[in-house]
Amino acid sequence: MFSLLRSLWEVFLHSFHRRVTVQYPEEMPYLAPRYRGRIILTRDPDGGERCVACNLCAVACPVDCIALQATEDESGRRYPEFFRINFSRCIFCGYCEEACPTYAIQLTPDFEMGEYNRQNLVYEKKDLMVDGPGKYPDYNFWRVAGVAIKDKDKGAAEHETPPVDLYSLMP
């Protein structure tokens, strides 16, 4: 009986507590920088596409919402011919970001992407691509990778030693 009266009183005291509701459209909630929201494709500091169309994100995706087609430009850089994310399937797990070897695909703190038409949730490459480098401003995959492209031969990358000459007898 006493505990009933006490709980009545304690609930009544909640009249003077602060309300925890965030009045969403007027007052935006705080989203951490690493919040897993809308997916973007980033560019390296030189403005080139980071994505090398390795398909790891599409493989890692548990709901198969990523589709892309790899191709190669005249300088030897691989890039996706199309890159398509179906956000009506995406569960924002972030596995694609973890799988990406070049920091190309990143998740951003933005969740306001509601649509009336389901087809509008299929984002093409032009919708996903942003102009900046995202969370990793200094990383450029092509500058550190040991892959030969135009204007950069094997062994010319940063921290890379020239390749061993297999036909030489010298140590």
Residues that bind another protein (CB under 8 A): 4, 7-8, 10-12, 14-15, 17-21, 23
Q: Which is nearer to another protein, 20 or 170 (CB)?
A: 20
Q: What are the backbone angles phi and psi of residue 128, rounded to the nearest 5°?
A: -85, -30
Q: Which is nearer to another protein, 13 or 164 (CB)?
A: 13
Q: Which two tokens stand for residue 136?
A: 């990793």
In angstroms, what is the minimal distance from the CB of 110 to another protein?
A: 24
Q: How would you write 8-74 as a 3-class SS string? A: HHHHHHHHHCCCCCCCCCCCCCCCCCCCCCCEEECECCCCCECCCCCCHHHHHCCCCCEEEEEEECC
In angstroms, what is the minimal distance from the CB of 13 to another protein?
A: 9
Q: Which is nearer to another protein, 18 or 126 (CB)?
A: 18
In angstroms, what is the minimal distance from the CB of 7 to another protein?
A: 5
